[in-house]
Amino acid sequence: MSIRPYVLAETNWKTVKATDYDVAVLPWGSTEAHNYHLPFGTDTMQAGYIATEAARKAWERGTRVVVLPAVPYGVNTGQLDIKLDMNVFPSTQAAFLHDILDAVSRTSIRRFIVLNGHGGNNFRQIIRELGAKFTSMFICQIDFFRVADPKEFFERPEDHAGEMETSVMMKIAPELVLPLEEAADGSAKTFKLTGLKEGWAWAERHWQSVTESTGVGDPALATREKGERYLDVITTKVARFYEELAAADLNALYE
């Protein structure tokens, strides 16, 4: 395997010292159960792949992106009773992100992206607070699952270990995906309260009350080809965002 200069964990001081990076990207996932057929690291692998593949596309067009090592722990407060599901609280994430930004801010990099791969993570309030401290930096969040409409690629684009995530993992790490006949159908309960069902009210789901298999969504229609098409669209759009951000005047971001 050749060294990828846009992946910090793979490259070396000789390259880093000589490269003027435009954008730093921090993939952030989670470690949690994904039905019976997908690995616990699914969210982290997806975030890392998308951040890195988008960096490759942008790098080939001249934008110098550096992808930092992915964070494998996310907010899983609704899954505390699921064996070996790992939870970190938002306050822990804020402290961790502060220290990463402190390190990056000591370089010439002024553009920083958290590329999020887990629905339980929400960095908006954290970014508001840290942005008030690291005033010379532009900090933003990308939720990869919001970059493209899953309905354009999948018949049943449900949210956890269903057709979408299974198709993506068939592309990213097929050796870690068990045969689909070993997966549960991902059937899940929903809230009874109207506001929560319609989406204008929000409460955290208690995962074991919602689904017995930990999956939400039927993976039966998943294919590697669907995953490839979806990932190509997402990584192309994210790469273009890297390029736009790198070229942007941070003092003139509005029109």
Q: Return the closest-CA partner of residue 77 out of 205, 178, 194.
A: 205
DSSP 87: B
Which domains, ranges and CATH numbers included, belong to the chain?
13-247 (3.40.50.10310)
Half-sphere exposure of 156 (CA within 13 A, CB side): 16
Q: What is the pLDDT of residues 166-179, one digit of tens each?
A: 999 999 999 999 99
Whether the pLDDT of residue 1 is over 80: the answer is no
**Please, what is the Cα angle at 71 between 115 and 179, to 5 degrees?**
85
**Mean pLDDT, all residues of the chain:** 97
Is residue 220 pLDDT above 80, yes or no?
A: yes
Average pLDDT over residues 184-203: 95
Reply yes or no on whether the pLDDT at 159 is more than 90.
no
Region of residue 186 (phi > 0: left; psi between -120 and 50: alpha; otherwise: beta): left
E-strand stretches of the chain? 23-28, 65-67, 111-116, 138-143
pTM above 0.85, yes or no: yes
